[in-house]
Amino acid sequence: MFVGLLCMVALAATAQPLFEDIWTVQSKNGVLEVFLVDEVSNVTLGEYTLELRVWNKSMTGPLLKCKRGDTIKIYLLNKLDQVTNLHFHGFHVTPKIPGDDARFMLPNNNKVKMYEFTIPMNHPQGMFWYHSHAMPFSEWQIFNGMSGPFIVEGLLDPLPELSTVVEKTVLLRDMQIVDGAVPSQLDFVGEAPTIRFVNHQIFPNLSCPVNETQLWSIANIGADISYLLAWERPDGSFADEIGLWFVAWDGILMNNKVPITNEFYLGPGNRVQILVRCPSAPVDIKMVTRKFSNGIPTDEFPTTDLIRVDVSGVARNAISDLNVTFPALKDYRQSDVSAERNVVFTQGAEEEEAPVVPGGEVEGSFFINGKPFSKARVDVRTFLGSVERWFIINRSPEFHYFHIHQGHFQVVAVDGVPVPFHGYMDTVFVDRPQNGSAEVVVEIIIPFTNPDQVGKYSFHCHIEGHADGGMMATLEVIDSPKLDVVFVAIAIPVLFIILVASSGFLFYQWRQDQKASKTLLPTSQEDETKQ
């Protein structure tokens, strides 16, 4: 009996997988080169073998790693039966071809597109990601697995005291499986059970040796569903035995570390990098996503275990003091604001997917400022060098996530209540109106000061079903004319006007002289005749 019990314990231990890193592609000699193939493949996930639309026959794209100054070359081959593309979420690079042009759609039938850009030397160092942005298929393609992590290395370079931390990349993805298969694009079932994967695994066991300090880079690379993250004891209370601090959000190092003492939302597109001090003694802790609702009956999600924190083994570092000084960040509340704008999220009464009709128009039930997305329309224009205050207003029954391409912003207030300044974001949670309120307002300040922001690109809700359904708009940043160009542009017309005016005046004087001469001439001739 004792032997049988030991066997059962051993089987239980082996049933829970050990946390695994995903496959990684590292830049070499200043170049990161990757070939991605979009195709329908059979992928085994735990007990399921599923037919998915993925890259390189894997549910998640490779972890791409590069450094500032590196050149990125990614070749995308489309073997699907629909258009696709790539968007490099959070990157401060050009939106123009061959860069991060998410407006371009790669046709099917084995077409190839190369994305190429260079990571600027002042680019944020942290966690980003890449994914399909092919309306109206982006939700389905990401839902199948067409997304992956991208890290610009060097996040902790300004903090040499933390150089020995053990790094973990944690990728959160959700998937519906109905009757043993992933639903087609038109058959999503809101209330269907949702499986939560961590690095393509279900509830893995992550080693966290006593007193070891780790850096967890966590990304929600799913299409629609949020994570209400918490670290819990068996009784469901928040586990304060483990030390947790935010150090970066959406790929940008914060201006100080902020302790995590309660649950927080990580929406689709959000990334967070957390300093973890493993417990000082063995304890039963797990990371979970807690129960929450998006506001409608079909979008209610139960508490789900994500990671078991295995507090055992020998620590690989001994960092006694985590009170390090972070670099200062610019507080845009002190900047001169050149414009203020409202971005209003609304939606129709029905929840439905919205087809794109010819011309890029969307017939959907999700809107920004009362309009569904149109590729043919530019909704906002601004100039390079401007700093703007935007009010993101939610008047719909669901919460949303505001995201803007090619840069970041600073959140300054929610419903008029100031938000402490710790850093920047590129995707922010906008709660739904509750308790009789008609709207929720998130106030942000966006700097359009990076030359790589010049061009046309999108801002939208990052719940992909909402973006596909019309909750997206186009922004154009126009290069500010240089001072010498402005001078020439003004001076030439002014000089021309002066020249024309002077010529006209001289001509007028000459005509007057001519008239005077003709008036005097007959009189003198008459005098000569009389003589």
Domain boundaries, the chain: 15-310, 332-478, 481-518
Go through the chain and tell me how many residues it has: 531
pLDDT above 50 for 67: yes
Cα 354 to chain centroid, rounded? 22
pLDDT above 50 for 374: yes
Report the distance separating Cα 75 and Cα 35, nearest Å.
5
Does residue 295 contact residue 399 with C-beta atoms inside 8 Å?
A: yes
Average pLDDT score over residue span 57-84? 95
Q: Which of 225, 235, 230 is nearest to 261 (CA)?
A: 230
Q: Return the number of other C-beta atoms located less than 10 Å from residue 185's C-beta.
A: 16
Token look-up 């009996």 returns 1
Token look-up 């890290």 returns 151
Token look-up 């809101």 returns 190
Report the distance separating Cα 216 and Cα 214, nearest Å.
6
Report the distance separating Cα 305 and Cα 236, nearest Å.
11
Class of domain 332-478: mainly beta
Does residue 434 contact residue 466 with C-beta atoms inside 8 Å?
A: no
Q: What is the pTM of this model?
A: 0.85
CB within 8 A of 236, min separation 6: which ones? none
Amino acid (one-letter) located at 297: P
144 phi-psi bin (left φ>0, alpha ψ -120 to 50, beta other): alpha
- The pLDDT tens digits of the residues spanning 326-343 come to 999 999 999 999 999 999
Given CATH 2.60.40.420, say whether it is the number of domain 15-310. yes
Average pLDDT score over residue span 306-318? 92
378 phi-psi bin (left φ>0, alpha ψ -120 to 50, beta other): beta
Question: Both tokens of residue 18?
Answer: 């050990």
Report the distance separating Cα 350 and Cα 358, nearest Å.
23
Q: Phi first, then psi: what are they for 498, rounded to 5°?
A: -60, -45
What was the pLDDT predicted at 183? 77
Beta-bridge partner residues of 307: 287
Cα 380 to chain centroid, rounded? 19
- The pLDDT tens digits of the residues spanning 176-212 come to 887 777 777 656 555 567 889 999 899 999 999 999 9
Question: What CA–CA distances, in Å, run from 477 to 47, 340, 385?
Answer: 49, 15, 9
pLDDT above 80 for 7: no
Query: Strands 472-478, 380-383: parallel, antiparallel or unpaired by DSSP?
Result: parallel
Going through 7-47 in order, the beta strands assigned E by DSSP cover: 24-26, 31-45
Q: Which of 198, 202, 87, 192 is nearest to 142 (CA)?
A: 87
- The pLDDT tens digits of the residues spanning 123-153 come to 999 999 999 999 889 998 999 999 999 999 9
Report the distance separating Cα 462 and Cα 453, nearest Å.
20
Report the distance separating Cα 472 and Cα 367, nearest Å.
7
The four Cα atoms 45, 46, 50, 53 give a dihedral, to 10 degrees, of -10
Cβ neighbourhood burial of 238 (10 Å; 0-12, 13-18, 19+): middle
Report the distance separating Cα 350 and Cα 258, nearest Å.
40
DSSP state for residue 234 in the 8-state scheme: T
Q: Phi first, then psi: what are they for 173, rounded to 5°?
A: -145, 145
Report the percent of the chain where pLDDT is more than 90. Answer: 69
What was the pLDDT predicted at 361? 43
Average pLDDT score over residue span 486-492? 57
Report the distance separating Cα 389 and Cα 336, nearest Å.
10
